[in-house]
Structure 1
Amino acid sequence: MSMVSVVVPCRNEAEHIGNVLDSILRSGYPDELLEVLVVDGLSDDGTREIVREYTVSHANVRMIDNPARYTAHGMNVGIRAAKGEIIIRVDSHAIYPPDYIATLVCYSQRLLADNVGPCLETVPGDSSRTAVAISRVLSNRFGVGNSAFRLASSQADYAEADTVPFGCFRREVFERIGFFDEDLIRNQDNEFNERILAAGGSIYLIPSLKVRYFARKTYRDLWLMLFQYGYYGPMVDRKLKRRSQLRRYVPAAFIAALAVPLLAIPLEPWVAIVSVATISAHSSLNLGVSLAQTTREGDLRLAPYLFWGFVVAHLSYGVGYWFGLWNEKVRKGKGGLRISERLSR
């Protein structure tokens, strides 16, 4: 069996970090072949104290400081400190099944893959209707496009993918591809996976392996998260020197169809009909999807929360993309927005 290093980048995760570490340590993987590196971004909510208790009771758990606080920096700190032949990235807002580590290691070696990962079972951050609606938005095709790992629709043993969450990598991948890009507050996983594919590497999704992922609890946090994903999209394109997956441009096209005709009204008033048609089409489709989803679940009271969740998701990602494009094309990457660096948890 291979030595495995599990890297857990986190900051202010006192609510979740204990459950995350418990689920990792209950994996059944031999303790002598497993190290857990919690890379903490200088938490001040009690996270560090919780992790210290685990370092005392479990010799294979270590805490490492991440002064930069952000995920890409934390991953790179953890990778450099890791001893394992296999490195698994773990998110601090998820619960992992008992066979998680063994399954990823098995498929990584069986497929000689550069990255393998699970599907997400997105669950509400709390019991409120807002939180429930957000979790549905992030697991519905209307909300996330054809993102395979969020939809988990394949019945195959494994499937090729363009990206997977919480990757499992062989160490030599980082020697060949490099580390996570620290310019990216968001999208660092997507950018790294795009580099793997551009270098002729392989990424596989394991549909039967499901991780319970806790979604954001409020529309504000959903907006901030997706705004940032959109904002860093153009930077990823510049760094990779090519376009990404089509689904990542659809919200930006939606915003353009809304905004451009409105800006052109002083010249040609009739073009306002394009914006009206766009709003009408989106609202009709949104209403249909929201009612269909809530009817299946037997709770029509959730419909307006879900409707608004889709609106927030599409607007935030699209607006974020255009702000990011302005920063890349006009300010040549030297501008930036304070909101683009704000943590959303």
Structure 2
Amino acid sequence: MTPATLPRLLSVIAPCRNEAAFIDAFCDSVLRQQLPDGWRMEVLIADGMSDDGTRERLQQGCARDGRLVLVDNPGRIVSTGLNACIARARGEVVARLDIHTVFAPDYLARCIETLERSGADNVGGPWVAQGTGPMGEAIAAAFQCRWVVGGARSRDQGYEGAVDTVYLGCWRREAFARFGLFDEALVRNQDDEHNLRLRRGGGRVWQSGTIRSVYHPRNSLRHLFAQQQQYGYWRPFVVRKHGQPGSWRQLVPALFVAALALSTLLLPWTPWPAVLLLALYGSYLALASLAAARAAGAWRLLGRLPAVIAAFHLGYGWGTWQGLWDVLRARSPSSRFARITR
């Protein structure tokens, strides 16, 4: 074959750690992806030194199919795993996937098509959640509701156009040469930070509803609160780096937590600030719960939604203040928030 007729190469990258229960199904689903004519792929999976059998399953998969490549990720976090994959990737296009997401059969094909059609530097689809069990379904319903997530366009399945950030992502390889790799100092929010850096450098991020996937969120309040607390904790480190957040709506939970704390301090003198704040937030919880239940078409979730929405907001807001406290004291990030767990 001449260079002009050689198949074009897509590099699929995915970080993982201790995913023995999910890794086989993930690999099988990726290898079944329908690529456009003239394209082939390699699938690089960065394992964060798993100790639950994930590595052994990956090694077996690599022996069965040469498209699978196991990449060591001694850093054990998402950003180091992504960068390790990119360093090994040979494709002209790089697409990131997630172990806990189910992808439409044409997901990668639509990524390539949107990348070429839009001329953007990073493209992706809407962030669609589907939970398991009553609590998981309630978490997914809240996650999907724009009232809960501050109007984020990433939840709008019909939106096509420029966005601040996008779920997962698909880039031309040259984008990493122009805008750099993922920040390995960030355990969370490394994707938001990279998209912010890309946009500040003159690049474009694009969302298309033709790129379809379904994400499976956590299914307990405790795990949800811990996840959101970790997301919130790393937000001030992004702000310190760029002088601004990825989006101003990301600071609203922290302002709510501050107002709640101030109202509590004023209780010995006057209860009215706390009463007013709780009345306003209670009304918001009720309306947001109704909106989420209606959008999900599942009124049976209504009793769980107020607690779920509060876990989203309080976890993220409290985590943001914890991160800001460490930033203001010029401390290194806390080891409490330095490990990704499911």
- The TM-score with structure 2 as length reference comes to 0.93
CA–CA distance in 2 between the matches of 1:193 and 1:296? 29
Matched residue, 2:331: 333
How big is each residue's C-alpha offset from its partner over 1:163-213, in whole Å with a ceiling of 9 and x where there is no partner?
001110111111111110011110000000000000000110011222111
Matched, 1:99 2:119: no
Contact 1:8 1:92 in 2 (8 A): yes
Give % identity.
Answer: 36
**Which whole-Å CA distance do the structure 2 matches of 1:208 and 1:44 have between them?**
37
Q: In the alignment, what sits opposite 2:3?
A: none
Q: Distance in 2 between matches of 1:212 and 1:249?
A: 27
Deviation for aligned residue 1:12: 0.9
2:200 alignment partner in structure 1: 198
Sort the Cα spacing of 1:304 and 1:35 in 2 relative to 1 into closer, same or farther, 3 A. Answer: same
Alignment of 1:151 with 2:151, yes or no, is no
Question: Does 2:282 match 1:277?
Answer: no
Quick one: which amino acid aligns to residue 305 of structure 1? Answer: R
2:14 maps to what in 1?
A: 8
What is the CA-CA distance between 1:293 and the residue it aligns to?
3.7
Moved over 3 A (4+): 291-301
Distance 1:143 1:187 in 2: 19
The aligned counterpart of 1:343 is 340
Deviation at 1:287, TM superposition (A): 1.8
Partner of 1:189 in structure 2? 191
Work out whether 1:176 is the aligned partner of 2:178.
yes
1:116 CA displacement: 0.3
Counting only pairs closer than 5 Å after superposition, residues 38-77 of structure 1 correspond to structure 2 as: 38-77=45-84
**2:187 partner SS:** coil
Q: Which whole-Å CA distance do the structure 2 matches of 1:244 and 1:17 have between them?
A: 31
- Structure 2 partner of 1:218: 220
Tell me which amino acid in the other structure corresponds to 1:223.
F
- Relative to structure 1, the CA distance from residue 298 to residue 115 in structure 2 (aligned partners, 3 Å threshold; closer, same or farther) is closer
Distance apart, 1:144 and its partner CA: 1.3
SS at match of 1:304: coil
Distance 1:42 1:304, change over 3 A: same
In the TM superposition, what is the alpha-carbon distance from 1:219 to its structure 2 partner? Answer: 1.1
State whether structure 2 residue 130 is matched by structure 1 residue 123. Answer: yes
Mapping 1:210-249, distance limit 5 Å? 210-249=212-251
Conserved 8 A contact 2:229-2:320: yes
Q: Secondary structure at the match of 2:63?
A: helix
Distance 2:231 2:109 in 1: 31
Q: Which structure 1 residue ranges, 5 or more long, are not aligned?
A: none
TM-score by length of 1: 0.92
1:286 corresponds in structure 2 to 285
Determine the C-alpha separation between the residues in 1 that align with 2:245 and 2:18. 34
Q: How many angstroms does 1:285 deviate by?
A: 1.8
> Is the CA contact 2:189–2:231 (under 8 Å) kept in the aligned structure 1?
yes
Q: Does 1:21 align with 2:27?
A: yes
* Secondary structure class of the residue paired with 1:313: helix
In structure 2, relative to structure 1, the CA distance for the partners of 1:295 and 1:7 (3 Å cut) is closer
Does 2:118 match 1:111?
yes
Seen in structure 2, the aligned counterparts of structure 1 residues 165 and 236 have a Cα distance that, compared at 3 Å, is: same
**Equivalent-residue separation in structure 2 for 1:68 and 1:276 (angstroms):** 47
Deviates further, 4-13 or 22-31: 22-31
Aligned to 1:324: 323
The 2-side partners of 1:259 and 1:319 are apart by 10
Deviations 1:267-300 (A, max 9, x none): xx12x42222112211122123323543565654
Q: What is the identity, as a one-letter code, of the residue corresponding to 2:82?
A: M
Which amino acid in 1 is paired with 2:250? R
Asked if structure 2 preserves the Cα contact closer than 8 Å seen for 1:133 and 1:309, the reply is: yes
**1:76-121 CA distances to partner (integer Å, 9 max, x unpaired)?**
0000010111111111110111111111112212222210011122
Q: Secondary structure at the match of 1:33?
A: strand
Letter in 2 for 1:280: A
Secondary structure of residue in 2 paired with 1:200: coil
1:251 aligns with 2:253: yes
Q: Contact 2:267–2:274 (CA<8 Å) still a contact in 1? A: no
In the TM superposition, residue 49 of structure 1 has moved relative to its aligned partner by 2.2
Instruction: Give 5+ residue unaligned stretches, structure 2.
Output: 1-6
Q: What amino acid does structure 2 have at the position aligned with 1:206? A: S
Structure-2 change in CA distance of 1:310 and 1:111 (3 Å): same
Aligned residue for 1:138, secondary structure, equals helix
CA distance in 2, matches of 1:229, 1:186: 6
Which has the larger displacement, 25-34 or 187-196?
Answer: 25-34
Taking only aligned residues, the RMSD between alpha carbons, in angstroms, comes to 1.8
Deviation at 1:265, TM superposition (A): 4.7
SS in 2 for 1:185: coil
* Equivalent residue number for residue 165 of structure 1: 167
Structure 1 residues 59 and 177: CA distance shift in structure 2, 3 A: same
